[in-house]
Amino acid sequence: MALLQVNNIETYLDQFHILQGVSLAVEKGTITVLFGRNGAGKTTTLRSVMGFHHIAHGEIYYDRTQVNGLSTHLISRKGIGYVPENQGIFHDLTVEETFALARGKGEEAEEKIEWMLELFPDLKQFWHKKSGILSGGQKQMLAISRAFINSDGLLLIDEPSKGLSPIMIEKLMIAILKMKEKTTVLLVEQNFMMASQIGDYFYIMDNGKIVHNGFMHELKEDKEMCHKYLGIS
């Protein structure tokens, strides 16, 4: 079984049937990218995995343990880190305080912090500064760092490149690729150029369903599929 296994899940938001039989598998040590147009159900998929949304049908397994039905807090404790689209950073906390709030004590946590600061040296410069003064890209670095320290094997990252400059997008792309040495990533991303360079596998969502999946190199070669579902010519 894959590290994360999502089996035929159905999710409703109010009366709307958002996820309609979504299944996907994320293998350990890989970057899997979930593509799709706005409103396809990508964020709802991540939030369903994290327990923010109740699933009406189906199962979700992390590391061979069924996690659907657990609270978001308990799912996080199982080892899944989540970086939401809005980053979820507390602007009144310093970078140091944000790292300190991340779960985990002792040598392993310190090693993770050190590794993330090497990966994102910008954060060292603002260690004692409030997070609110960071640029959008630096806030994204902080959000990813916090989730990584909190996690134990899997990161769900939602639209990390949104609103960022090309230079910052490149920094994030290199960093997420490097993170594959330490963790597994399920990435939701609209920036096809970025995601296609770092992803190993892909899934495409359309109207709440998975319509295609496979190796990333296959998708890059399939111009018709990219145009039909992603609007890429």
Give the CATH number for residue 147: 3.40.50.300
- The model's pTM is 0.95
pLDDT at site 100: 86
- Cα(221)–Cα(226) distance, integer angstroms: 9
- DSSP 8-class letter at 129: S
Segments forming the whole domain that contains residue 171? 4-230
Distances (CA, A) of 95 to 82, 102, 129, 132: 18, 11, 6, 9
pLDDT at site 131: 92
- DSSP 8-class letter at 189: -
**Count of domains observed in the chain:** 1
Entry field: residues in the chain: 233
Q: How far is CA 216 from the centre of its chain?
A: 17
pLDDT at site 104: 60
> Chunked in runs of 10, what are the mean pLDDT values of the chain (233 residues)?
96 95 98 96 98 97 97 95 87 91 72 91 92 92 92 94 92 94 95 95 97 96 92 82
Strands (E), the chain: 4-13, 16-26, 31-36, 55-62, 65-66, 80-83, 154-158, 184-188, 201-206, 209-215
Paired residues of 202 in beta bridges: 33, 214
Nearest to 168 by CA among 199, 194, 149, 129: 194
- Cα(68)–Cα(74) distance, integer angstroms: 10
